[in-house]
Amino acid sequence: MRIPLPITKSLLATLALAVSTTVPAALEEQGKLPLDELRTFADVFNQIRVGYVEEIDDSTLLEYAIQGMLMGLDPHSMYLTEDAFQNLQDSTSGEFTGLGLEVGMEDGYVKIISPIDGSPAAAAGLQSGDIILKLDKAPVKGMSLSEAIDIMRGPKGSEINLTIGRPGESQPFDVTVVRDVIKVASVRQRWLEPGYGYIRIAQFQSATGADVTKSLEKLMGEQELKGLVLDLRNNPGGILRASVDVAGLFMDGGTVVYTEGRLANSEMYYQAQDSDSSKGVPLVVLINGGSASASEIVAGALQDHGRAVVMGTHSFGKGSVQTILPLSESRAVKLTTALYFTPDGRSIQAEGIAPDILVERAKVTTYDNAPRITEADLSGHLDNANGKNGAKKSTSSRKLSSELLSSDNQLYEALTLLKGLNILGMGKQKPAPEKTDGSTGES
């Protein structure tokens, strides 16, 4: 039975006025406002306002309605309160206090997209694909994503208990994580072996493009670069512009990504710089199920342009664009407004990037690792006719390869592929482009 309170008509009139003054003319032309649904909303509002077991003020109830409206769209659209908006800014700036998790919503639960390198969450063994069922014994089901994030954030040194459901595990289990200041080192580099470099991008922040440039210049300045591994595993994404900058470092121009949406300004094409800063060095990009958004943009662009071999496992599949729409100084809406497409027109959304070479993460041990006796070990052996003695170097190389194989088999396979490309003569760097008179043309 409906309760015919005065607020019903008042609220209906207010809602109708608000919608009529904010809906663009293009949408008005599609048809009349759904007045029956607005009446239903007003009635439900009254039922809750009058009959709910605890009294809730009207402004709080309307905020709940807004949150529910956005949560019903997709896992990434949300209503941002002042704290939630500040948290969003913190996560892209590279420092915040919490657990170190990139998360999303799935079927009403919080799903871990990836733990951040070096974070308390990573140290606790949390993995991409884990589902958070409870936070300090409080069920996550029914919480909004921003509410769950607020609970996971907290003072440095404080503990929180997470109940985790993991695919392949028969029973949920509890993990206690100690909050800490999360300083996301966006980029780091090292040598895997002489001539073969490694650059790891943990997250795409505002300075990531410049940081990758510095890492690339450092490697190339130290010795000849024969091949490079770009590691995007468990990289949850971040700033779109940074992904365009990174992809452009390895391309000779061309489209990196484009977006399409309903609004006219949502159709954008992002182009790479005109010169390949890596000089065409053989490139392997590593991805996995924790590689999302900006990571998938980089992998997809380099794959479509034939610039890199993508290796690992299928990526996450987050191919949507979110726009922050301010409502006031302390409130905003994060709304999905467009979809990403790779240069060849592939939609990343809910599909992800398929690796060129599938390599599952596995624990691998060498079969026959016992010391071997060779001709060089025999007493009185003849010296090599060319005066070479590579036994010691060969033993050292085998040790390094064995250690890498046991610690990270995907990275080992990437390094092996780069060596193969060099053996086939595909590792020669491109000469610097000749100077022209600066004229350009379009076709």
- Residue corresponding to tokens 């060849």: 344
- Residue corresponding to tokens 């996995």: 288
Q: Which residues pair with 187 in a beta bridge?
A: 201
- Rounded distance between C-alpha atoms, residue 249 and residue 281, angstroms: 11
Q: Which two tokens stand for residue 86?
A: 């500040």
- Rounded distance between C-alpha atoms, residue 415 and residue 227, angstroms: 8
Residues recognised as catalytic: 293, 304, 318
